[in-house]
Amino acid sequence: MSGCSSNFIFLNVALGVLMCAFTPSVVDARAFFVFGDSLVDNGNNNYLATTARADSPPYGIDYPTHQPTGRFSNGLNIPDIISERLGSEATLPCLSPELQGEKLLVGANFASAGIGILNDTGVQFLNIIRIYRQLQYFEEYQQRVAALIGPQQTEQLVNKALVLITLGGNDYVNNYFLVPYSARSRQFSLPDYGRFLVTEYQKILERLYELGARRVIVTGTGPMGCVPAELATRSRGGQCATEPNKAAALFNPLLAQMIQQLNNDIGSDVFIAANTAQSHKDFISDPQAFGFVTSKIACCGQGPYNGVGLCTPASNLCADRSKYAFWDPFHPTEKANRIIVEQLFNGDSTYMTPMNLSTILALDKDV
């Protein structure tokens, strides 16, 4: 697997010229970094030998190019829409050969579909960028940027950046609940597993802080029992599957408590808890209120609720993606992603704790 860093040799004179050229944009720009799984991956897995890929049609059917990009969406995903709201270009995958020069100063997306908090999550997908490897790539990214603009300006860029991290769902659907009597389900009761995950997640967030992150949006898991894949395999009469939803109900409050304690220990509101479970519940429980015709049936798929297997060129495909909350068996449509991002920016304390993204941007504007 190729890394997210490249080796460059700079002459001292050339380095000085580059630092002068890039420094003003560092002062003005706010970089954006993304870590996590398929909900936020924008193409890293295209470069890997893995089955966790979204690089064939009809993925990307509503993306500006109408081509698959590696995003698990019909169009834009959550990081894309955040970048759009910030007035920035979308961050590139860290494995993209285009991530160099000025593009580095925009930030980078390190996410990889299939990964979780735990290293044994997603083993069936083979070659994916597990979370601690993502953090190693973040270190290497900073070394590349320092070669362009110098260590001090790089530290400033990272400290001022917005960070999004999305983990946890795969630790349930692609680990604990993956097969009956999975290794983790034999090792832990569901409540104990949630506590174990949050303890491990804290170590990841602490490492992010050590690497310079100072504004980090941390999302919880959605109501996992309500996605079309779970409705197809675990549902009784179209009702959300009980055990996955119970898992989310246990995990998310523990995550929020951990984030609050972590901020207290640091003495600053570095980590922001995003209650994306509530955002999902809003349009799942009342899809018509958001202009959807269904929150049960995926736009792309096959079998009950279009929730079996993968979204492929041979799958059923809805004609109007704006009428569906879910694009494929696991992932929201672009329209649903926009609803989630709206709550990230403007949601009250039900959705964002201790503050929403608009408040963060206002507070940080003059810093």
Domain extent listing, the chain: 30-225+236-274+352-358
Reply yes or no on whether 328 is catalytic: yes
Number of other residues whose CB lies within 10 A of the CB of residue 338: 17
Choosing from 28, 37, 38, 189, the catalytic residue is 38
Mean pLDDT to the nearest integer, 69-88: 97
Reply yes or no on whether 56 is catalytic: no
Mean pLDDT to the nearest integer, 36-52: 97
Number of other residues whose CB lies within 10 A of the CB of residue 81: 21
Share of the chain above pLDDT 90, in %: 90
Choosing from 41, 269, 282, 328, the catalytic residue is 328
Mean of pLDDT over the chain: 92
Residue 324 has pLDDT above 90, yes or no: yes
Mean pLDDT to the nearest integer, 24-45: 84
User: What's the pLDDT at 141?
Assistant: 98
Triad 232, 252, 94: Cα angle to 5°: 80
Phi then psi dihedrals of residue 264, to 5 deg? -60, -40
Choosing from 41, 280, 282, 331, the catalytic residue is 331
Residue 301 has pLDDT above 70, yes or no: yes
Strands 32-36 and 162-166: parallel
Mean pLDDT to the nearest integer, 109-124: 97
Element (H, E) at 264: helix 242-266
User: What's the pLDDT at 365?
Assistant: 84
Q: Give the residue, 1 or 261, on which the prediction is more confident.
A: 261
323 — pLDDT class (breaks 50, 70, 90): very high
Residues 6+ apart with CB under 8 A from 106: 29, 31, 32, 88, 89, 91, 92
Structure-block tokens of residue 200: 């491990």
User: What's the pLDDT at 28?
Assistant: 58
pLDDT digits (tens, 9 = 90+) for 126-179: 999 999 999 999 999 999 999 999 999 999 999 999 999 999 999 999 999 999
**Contact present, 25 and 105 (Cβ < 8 Å):** yes
339 — pLDDT class (breaks 50, 70, 90): very high
Reply yes or no on whether 66 is catalytic: no
Mean pLDDT to the nearest integer, 291-315: 97
User: What's the pLDDT at 236?
Assistant: 86
Out of 14-23, 37-46, 233-242, give the one with best mean pLDDT: 37-46
Query: CATH number for the 30-225+236-274+352-358 domain, one of 3.30.590, 3.40.50, 3.30.1380, 2.30.30?
Result: 3.40.50
Triad 88, 166, 113: Cα angle to 5°: 90
Which residue's entry shows tokens 């506590």? 195
Residues 6+ apart with CB under 8 A from 285: 295
Residue 5 has pLDDT above 70, yes or no: no
